[in-house]
Amino acid sequence: MKEGAELRNEREFPSGKSGQGVGARLPRKEDDRLMRGRGRYVGDVRLAGLQDVAFVRSPLAHARIRGIHVPERYRGSVFTAADLVGIKPIRAVSGLPGFKISEQPVLATGKVRQVGELVAMCLAPTRAEAEDIAASVTLDLEELPAITDMLKAREPGSALVHEHWGDNVFLETNYEVDISAALDAPIKMTREISTARQCMSPLEGRGVVATFDSRLDQLTLHSAAQMPHITRSGLAECLGMEEGQIRVISPDVGGGFGHKGILLPEEVCLSWLTMRCGHPVRWLEDRREHLVASSNCREHHYRITVYADSDGSLRGIDCEATVDSGAYSSYPFSACLEAAQVASILPGPYRMPAYRCRTFSVATNKCPILPYRGVARTGVCFALELMLDLVAAEAGLEPGEVRLRNLVRPEQMPFDNITKKHFDSGDYPEAMRRALAAIDIDAIRAKQKQGEADGRRIGVGVSIYCEQAAHGTSVYSGWGIPMVPGHEQASARLTPDGGLELRVGVHSHGQGMETTLAQVAHEILGVDVAKIRIILGDTAMTPYSTGTWGSRSMVMAGGAVATACRELGERARRIGAKLLQHDPAAVVLQNGEVRGVNGSVSVKAIAHTWYRRPQDLPADVDPGGLEVTQGYKPVRDSGTFSYAAHAAVVAVDPDLGEVEILDYVIVEDGGVLVNPLVVDGQIYGGLAQGIGTALYEEMPFDASGQPLATTLADYLLPGPTEVPAARLDHMETPSPYTQFGVKGIGEGGAIAPPAAIANAVNDALRPLGVELMQSPITPHRVVAAVLAARATKRSAA
């Protein structure tokens, strides 16, 4: 029987509905610690002899380094590239044909290619003193022309970020399915659409505490990391050490979102430094470093044409997408994952017969672009869903109607789309219908006709996406990047008192996995969730894993935990049969007990006997014991496809440019939900970030490459008053390929809001002749567009 096939939906998990297993809305176990301020983060690590590091960072976006001058009194406390003998640069190569390799020196050599690039490392007993030293170091830089506009960077004759390339293009890709078949479509809409560069802004920034243990001959790196095993591999490559000589510990992590999946030059620097100076060293990213030098994401540009029949049926999409990849290829995802992914996911959840997409990953003098929650999907959803609203307007249809006409239909599942994505299951039109009904589209249209007394204009917008999650070996081997996920491993061990320890290589930084993975184990073994400990975030204590990214942990680590617990349960069952003096075939494991006709013995008693009273076991007992490690892959590793329809109602003030979200509805389908409460939290958090993309967050640069939003006074994040009380509705279509039918949902919340909100704003302002095709939708952009539309009307009149 296929895995998961025996358990098809939530109604079949009675333990979850009534108690603690799959499907239970269990409050998060970890919140007892985290919500009382008892979490332990990198910044809380205290080691004897610890000293602090501050970095000298490049003040220029592009310059040749002529000299680094350290005052005499600080010699010995300042380290530059010249000191880092034998340390290799960070190299994140992609195997895609034509990819150009960048080498990111951990401390700059020769040139600096972005503001904030590390130039020197300063060591002192406190961070303030280290910053004093950093301020005393002077750089002799020969400024070079900065490349800040990705479209200009593509033009011949542009200044070059990496001279030996001859241009600024990391990678160009082309994908086409018979675009000529669409060219005679009666509706043809072409636009330029863009999303701003953002900063991920988790509550906790990055941080590193490094120390070396000469007894173990081992470097220990405490780092706020989503993927500790991958960090270890990258460190070993840069430092020239054996992986066994490195232990990466990622303690509590205050939000990752992709930023903490990246190997940082700071991690390499501090690893080298602790071995050089013989005592622990620490660097904690401050908010300015975070904004200026590290966590950039999202900057996309699209030239897109959508072809459709006059009834709104899609005939094809033709797109040229450019992503500003920044100065370097980041480890392990590379500089091209984002842009190249655009080509494969742009068709979204829609059917179409023709398609063409050309993508460019462009190097500029900005921070490397990093994969942020949703990765390329937020930009793609924004571009495609804005275009579908234009098609709707052109065809004279409701935007929702155009979606319903083109979405993949439930009877077509599983469905291979035009870019060969394999949609596993779901009813996409139903999600859209529910969203339209919940937002009450008819009532809003009626309200719009009346107009608002306060002069604001009401608009409604929808968007829908699908999110490929937990995609595995077959997908990632094609990218040829330093990391390809294989079988996910989990270890399960019963303790002598009947508790359960689970070890997994993924990490939890807000996802609630200490609860949800325990629920999975409870579903199989019946052990009380309170007695299940999840051990994660430590390469010395957990099985290898590529870690937490790509909405994969519940599918992959959840599947591995289930598999390991099944094997552990089988071991317990066989021991239990011996204790009951039964044939093993005649006993079952149920609700934490092994039962036969003669009676039952608890898993707790079995564990106690195995560890503490082996004298009670017969001589022919299976010697394997109550500790197992098992690997897991879904039946198909092309990924689960969760999806959601979002609907937003906004009020726009055309004179002030302010946008207020009046109502927000999300209908999502994440397959079987292990813990709907945790899923709700994931969606609310993603929505907040999506609202940030839609309305607030932007990292602008001036022409010389200086980032202009260097504090949170200029880089605006949505706060509690900017995030509405969204209404959620869950559908639960199981995936046919995974344990319990679960799907990955971690990123989805952040994908659709910019599109839904922009469509709502455009719906509100369309009668004024206004069209906004750029995120974020700031008051200034709204008012400028309103004034431009008025001027156009005047000149036409």
Partner 1 sequence: MKPAPFAYERPRDLNAALSMLAASNGSAKIIAGGQSLGPMLNLRLVQPELIVDISGLAELKRAEVSGGELVLGALVTHADIEDGRTADVTRGAMRGVAASIAYRAVRNRGTIGGSLSHADPAADWISALAALGGRVTLRSLVGARSMAVEAFVVGALESALQAGEIVEAIHVPARSASAHWGYAKSCRKTGEFAHAIGAVLVDPTAASARVVIGAIDTAPIVITDASELFGGRIAADYKQRLDVRVADALLAKAGIDDAAQRHIHVSVLKRAVQEAAA
Residue tagged 């083109």 (tokens): 406
Q: What is the closest distance, in whole angstroms, from the C-beta atom of residue 294 to partner 1 in the complex?
A: 14
Query: Tokens 């007695």 label which residue?
Result: 531
Q: Is 152 in the site for partner 1 (CB under 8 A)?
A: no
Helix axes 676-691 and 753-765, enclosed angle (nearest 10): 50
Query: Cα–chain-centroid distance for residue 384?
Result: 20
Q: Which residues are bridge partners to 593 per DSSP? A: 590, 602
167 vs 155: CA distance, rounded Å: 8
> In the set 127, 191, 303, 447, which binds partner 1 (CB under 8 A)?
127
Q: Least distance in Å: CB of 387 to partner 1? A: 26
Tell whether residue 73 is a contact of partner 1 (CB under 8 A). Answer: no
Residues binding partner 1: number (CB under 8 A)? 27
Among 5, 216, 656, 703, contact with partner 1 (rule: CB under 8 A): 656
* Residue 411 or 454 with smaller CB distance to partner 1: 454
Give the angle 101-105-289 at the CA atoms, nearest 5°. 115
Min. distance of Cβ 134 from partner 1 in angstroms?
Answer: 10
Tell me the C-alpha distance between 673 and 696, whole Å. 31
Q: Can residue 634 be called a binding residue for partner 1 (CB under 8 A)?
A: no
Minimal distance in Å, beta carbon 291 to partner 1? 11
By CB under 8 A, name the one of 214, 615, 721, 795 that touches partner 1. Answer: 721
DSSP string, 624-662: T-SEEEEEE--SS-S-EEEEEEEEEEEEE-TTT--EEEE
User: What DSSP state is assigned to residue 672?
Assistant: S
Positive or negative CA dihedral for 368, 370, 375, 378?
Answer: negative
718 binds partner 1 (CB under 8 A): yes
Residue 519 · residue 22 · CB < 8 Å: yes
> Tokens 């020769």 — which residue?
110
CB nearer to partner 1: give 284 or 369: 284
Nearest distance in Å: CB 70, partner 1: 18
286 vs 627, beta carbon nearer partner 1:
286
Helices and strands counted in the chain (H then E)? 19, 33
Cβ distance to partner 1 smaller for residue 46 or 780: 780
Which x/- pattern, by CB under 8 A, does the window 674-703 give for partner 1? ----------------------x-------
Per CB under 8 A, 658 contacts partner 1 = yes
Q: Specify the residue, 164 or 794, whose C-beta has the smaller distance to partner 1.
A: 794
Q: Write the binding mask 752 to 791 for partner 1: x where contact by CB under 8 A, - elsewhere.
A: --------------------------xxx--xx--x----
Is residue 43 close enough to count as binding partner 1 by CB under 8 A? no
Q: Residue 657 interacts with partner 1 (CB under 8 A)? A: yes
Please state the closest distance from residue 655 (CB atom) to partner 1, in A: 4
- DSSP output for 716-752: ----GGGS---EEEEE----TTSGGGB---TTGGGTS
The Cα 666–Cα 205 span in angstroms is 29
Per-residue b/e over 482-493, b at no fewer than 16 CB within 10 Å? bbbbebbbbbbb
What's the Rg (C-alpha) of the chain?
A: 28
Instruction: Please state, in angstroms and rounded to a whole number, the distance separating the CA atoms of residues 56 and 123.
Output: 11
- CB nearer to partner 1: pick between 266 and 669: 266
Across 225-331, the runs of DSSP E, i.e. the strands, are 246-249, 281-284, 296-297, 300-308, 314-324
128 binds partner 1 (CB under 8 A): yes
Q: Which stretch binds partner 1 (CB under 8 A): 104-112, 125-133, 403-411, 753-761?
A: 125-133
Among residues 103, 719, 792, 793, the one that binds partner 1 under rule CB under 8 A: 719
| Closest distance to partner 1 from the beta carbon of 778 (Å) | 7
Q: Which residues contact 733 (CB under 8 A, 6 or more apart)?
A: 425, 426, 427, 669, 671
Q: Which of 33, 279, 287, 422 binds partner 1 (CB under 8 A)?
A: 287
| Strand stretches in 70-127, DSSP E | 78-80, 90-91, 103-104, 111-112, 118-124
Report the residue number, 142 or 655, with the smaller CB distance to partner 1.
655
Site stretch for partner 1 (CB under 8 A), options 56-64, 282-290, 574-582, 668-676? 282-290
Q: Work out whether 662 is an interface residue with partner 1 (CB under 8 A).
A: no
Interface with partner 1 includes 132 (CB under 8 A)?
A: yes
> Among 191, 288, 422, 574, which residue sits at the site for partner 1 (rule: CB under 8 A)?
288
Dihedral of alpha carbons 147, 152, 158, 162, sign = positive
Q: Applying CB under 8 A, which of residues 535, 617, 635, 716 lies at the interface with partner 1?
A: 716
Q: Which has the closest alpha carbon to 394: 302, 312, 305, 304?
A: 312
Whether 728 contacts 680, CB under 8 Å? yes
Near partner 1 by CB under 8 A: residue from 135, 183, 216, 703: 135
Minimum CB distance to partner 1 smaller for 118 or for 408: 118
For partner 1, the closer of residues 627 and 722 by Cβ is: 722
Which one of 401, 452, 722, 729 is in contact with partner 1 (CB under 8 A)?
Answer: 722
Contacts of 186 (CB under 8 A, 6+ apart): 308, 309, 310
Q: Which of 237, 286, 440, 570 binds partner 1 (CB under 8 A)?
A: 286
Q: Which residues bind partner 1 (CB under 8 A)?
A: 126-128, 131-132, 135, 286-288, 655-658, 696, 711, 713, 716, 718-719, 721-722, 778-780, 783-784, 787
